[in-house]
């Protein structure tokens, strides 16, 4: 072959002992050759770049080698071996089913099958991308595949076995080709580098192997491209520049920001990535690879040698694996995987990655049930005592004199006016000392004090609630209200905010346009449910007097 031939073609294995991985396929085919039990049809199944076509050519060369064929070690120098490797053999016919998929194409192949081998002892038909054949073509091929002439072998290679007709698959011996590991990819890269006198750093080999995603062809294709980019001396920075991959400092920095729950630092790291010209989707995949290393390290307690890109990465990986909690690690992996799915569906890549990382760093930003759990977890870590899950408030009890005054949730109507002005964003309803059911709030002039309406009482232990604390937990209170089964009640309090707290009392403000929600929220049962949710989230026990 000429020097212009690509590396993956030039260094395609020529015998079974040169194959890296796929031990089950090598052993089975080797035994079949030694025992003279060659099957007439094989189905090779596997993702691209796993060696299906290479294995088919090795089998063809082993059957037709002029120096002792059938043999496990074809010589590679005879006319038959060289023509098979070059794809010019008259006895080994390679056919691309993606472009030759019609009935007429298969009829032409069927006519050629009748002719005996010319140079070698066996005729081998290699049908690549076999799943692309039409149903009519398969039916035309069925009889020939089932009863071929003597010394004829069909090898069907496909990446999508489920598209091959069952009647065809039943007549073949099936072999599933596994994706090579990073160690196997690195072995092939190092072997080719030695053969081509390429000087390449070990971290660069690891980076290429990781980027190949289980494909020998992709790994050697990247090496070929790097030789054209930087010559026969390849460094890690060359690989990063060529692939647009995220370097280790950027990956470690993002995880450190997530561990610190620092959304500002997360966005800064994403901005650094964007300014470097890297593809956000590629960055997300690199992040997933880094997180996988942390997961393996955290689970096994040691760093697999093949997963550390540079020597300095090992202590950093160990420290980061200890720093990030298992729940945070799994959540970040889930968020990034979901982001990649949305990117494939057409979402803007950078935004999807930013949102995923922000959710990982600040899970309380998630409006769903998961976010509720994280907000409660955050409150527990900050010192607010935990409580039992939200429950429905008990039925109102007859009025009784409380042992001591306690806090109450109240709705405080502010001045009613068509234009509340810039400082009157919310209307509030105040509290009353008198127990009993609420009464309608009459319109009051702007200067009049609000008529307080009592909502609920709790035990005196809740007296220490302040506005800042209530404001912080307010989204969690609404979620707790919804989670307790009080969905309609929660909807009435959407868009509200605490406007006052102290002395055991909490005031809630409504937007001016929410008069309907405010009227419904003033009902005793609504206020009792909200009080129960507030006291549950803040960890205070519900008092004996609800009114």
Q: How far is CA 92 from CA 12, 31, 78, 330, in A?
A: 17, 22, 15, 50
Q: Are residues 93 and 109 in the same domain?
A: yes
| Residue 18 is assigned to a structural domain of this protein | yes
- Mean pLDDT over each residue of the chain, to the nearest integer: 76
Q: Are residues 144 and 268 in the same domain?
A: no
Closest C-alpha among 414, 390, 392 to residue 477: 390
Q: Are residues 232 and 332 in the same domain?
A: no
Q: What is the CATH number of the domain that holds 98?
A: 3.40.50.300
Q: What is the pLDDT of residues 244-289, one digit of tens each?
A: 777 778 888 999 999 988 889 999 989 988 888 788 888 898 889 8
Q: What is the pLDDT of residues 412-434, one digit of tens each?
A: 444 443 444 333 344 444 343 33
| Residue 396 is assigned to a structural domain of this protein | no
Q: Are residues 489 and 355 in the same domain?
A: no
- Name the domain count of the chain: 4
Q: What is the CATH number of the domain that holds 277?
A: 1.20.272.10
Return the pLDDT at 31.
93
Top-confidence residue, 517 or 42 = 42
pTM (global) more than 0.85? no
| Residue 384 is assigned to a structural domain of this protein | no
Report whether pLDDT(491) > 80.
no
| Residue 484 is assigned to a structural domain of this protein | yes
| Residue 14 is assigned to a structural domain of this protein | yes
| Residue 200 is assigned to a structural domain of this protein | yes
Q: Are residues 67 and 30 in the same domain?
A: yes
Mean pLDDT for the stretch of residues 189-216: 88
Top-confidence residue, 457 or 13 = 13
Top-confidence residue, 304 or 436 = 304
Return the pLDDT at 407.
41
Mean pLDDT for the stretch of residues 29-34: 92
Q: Are residues 84 and 198 in the same domain?
A: no
| Residue 543 is assigned to a structural domain of this protein | no
Q: Are residues 213 and 278 in the same domain?
A: no
> Which helix (H) or strand (E) is 509 found in, with range?
strand 505-510
Report whether pLDDT(444) > 70.
no
Q: Which of 243, 259, 293 is the last residue of a domain?
A: 243
Closest C-alpha among 39, 25, 21, 44 to residue 161: 44
Q: What is the pLDDT of residues 106-157, one digit of tens each?
A: 878 877 887 878 877 888 999 888 888 888 888 888 888 888 888 889 999 9
Q: Which of 243, 258, 288 is the last residue of a domain?
A: 243
Give the chain's end-to-end CA distance (angstroms, integer). 92
87 band by pLDDT with thresholds 50, 70 and 90: confident
Mean pLDDT for the stretch of residues 309-316: 64
Q: Are residues 150 and 290 in the same domain?
A: no
> Which helix (H) or strand (E) is 410 found in, with range?
strand 408-411
Q: Are residues 265 and 126 in the same domain?
A: no
183 band by pLDDT with thresholds 50, 70 and 90: confident
Q: What is the CATH number of the domain that holds 187?
A: 1.10.8.60
Q: Which of 136, 155, 176 is the last residue of a domain?
A: 176
Please state the length of the chain. 547
Mean pLDDT for the stretch of residues 447-471: 50
Q: Are residues 68 and 187 in the same domain?
A: no
| Residue 378 is assigned to a structural domain of this protein | no
Beta carbons of 294 and 324 less than 8 angstroms apart = yes
Beta carbons of 214 and 186 less than 8 angstroms apart = no
Q: Are residues 288 and 190 in the same domain?
A: no
Structural domain for 429, as ranges: 408-416+424-434+449-538
Q: Are residues 162 and 236 in the same domain?
A: no
Report whether pLDDT(227) > 50.
yes
């Amino acid at each position: 072959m000429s020097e212009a031939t690509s590396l993956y073609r030039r260094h395609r294995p020529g015998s079974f002992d040169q194959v890296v991985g796929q031990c089950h396929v090598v052993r089975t085919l080797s035994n079949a050759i030694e025992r003279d039990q060659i099957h007439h049809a094989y189905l090779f199944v596997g993702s691209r770049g796993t060696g299906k076509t290479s294995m088919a050519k090795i089998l063809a060369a082993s059957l037709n080698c002029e120096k002792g064929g059938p043999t496990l070690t074809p010589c590679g120098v005879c006319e038959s071996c060289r023509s098979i490797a070059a794809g010019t053999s008259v006895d080994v016919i390679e056919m691309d089913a993606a472009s030759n998929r019609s009935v007429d194409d298969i009829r032409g192949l069927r006519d050629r099958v009748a002719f005996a081998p010319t140079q070698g002892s066996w005729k081998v038909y290699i049908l690549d991308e076999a799943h692309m054949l039409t149903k009519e073509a398969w039916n035309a091929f069925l009889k020939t595949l089932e009863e071929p002439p003597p010394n004829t072998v069909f090898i069907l290679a496909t990446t999508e076995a489920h598209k091959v007709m069952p009647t065809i698959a039943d007549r073949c011996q099936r072999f599933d080709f596994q994706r090579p590991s990073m160690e196997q990819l690195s072995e092939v890269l190092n072997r080719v580098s030695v053969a081509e006198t390429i000087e390449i750093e070990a971290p660069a080999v690891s980076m290429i192997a990781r980027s190949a995603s289980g494909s020998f062809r992709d790994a050697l294709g990247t090496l070929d491209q790097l030789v054209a980019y930087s010559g026969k001396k390849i460094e890690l920075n060359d690989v990063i520049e060529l692939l647009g991959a995220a370097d280790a400092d950027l990956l470690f920095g993002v995880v450190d920001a997530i561990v610190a729950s620092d959304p500002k630092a997360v966005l800064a790291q994403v901005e650094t990535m964007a300014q470097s010209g890297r593809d956000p989707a590629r960055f997300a995949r690199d992040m997933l690879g880094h997180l996988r290393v942390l997961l393996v390290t955290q689970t096994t307690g040691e760093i697999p040698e093949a997963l550390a890109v540079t020597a300095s990465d090992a202590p950093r990986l160990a420290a980061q694996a200890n720093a990030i909690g298992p729940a945070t690690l799994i959540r970040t992996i889930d968020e990034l995987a979901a982001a990649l799915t949305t990117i494939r569906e057409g979402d803007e890549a950078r935004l999807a990655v930013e949102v995923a990382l922000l959710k990982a760093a600040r899970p309380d930003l998630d409006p769903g049930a998961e976010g509720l759990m994280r907000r409660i977890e955050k409150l527990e870590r900050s010192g607010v005592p935990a409580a039992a899950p939200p429950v429905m408030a008990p039925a109102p009890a007859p009025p009784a004199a409380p042992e001591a005054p306690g806090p109450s949730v109240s709705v405080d109507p502010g001045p009613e006016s068509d234009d509340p002005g810039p400082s009157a964003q919310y209307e509030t309803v105040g509290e009353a000392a008198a127990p009993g059911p609420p009464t309608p709030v009459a319109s009051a002039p702007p200067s009049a004090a609000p008529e307080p309406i009592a909502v609920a009482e709790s035990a005196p232990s809740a007296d220490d609630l302040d506005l800042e604390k209530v404001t912080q937990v307010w989204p969690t209170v609404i979620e707790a209200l919804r989670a307790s089964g009080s969905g309609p009640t929660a909807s009435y309090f959407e868009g509200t905010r605490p406007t006052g707290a102290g002395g055991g009392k909490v005031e809630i403000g409504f937007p001016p346009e929410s008069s309907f929600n405010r009227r419904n929220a003033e009902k005793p049962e609504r206020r009792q449910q909200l009080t129960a949710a507030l006291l549950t989230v803040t960890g205070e026990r519900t008092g004996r007097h609800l009114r």
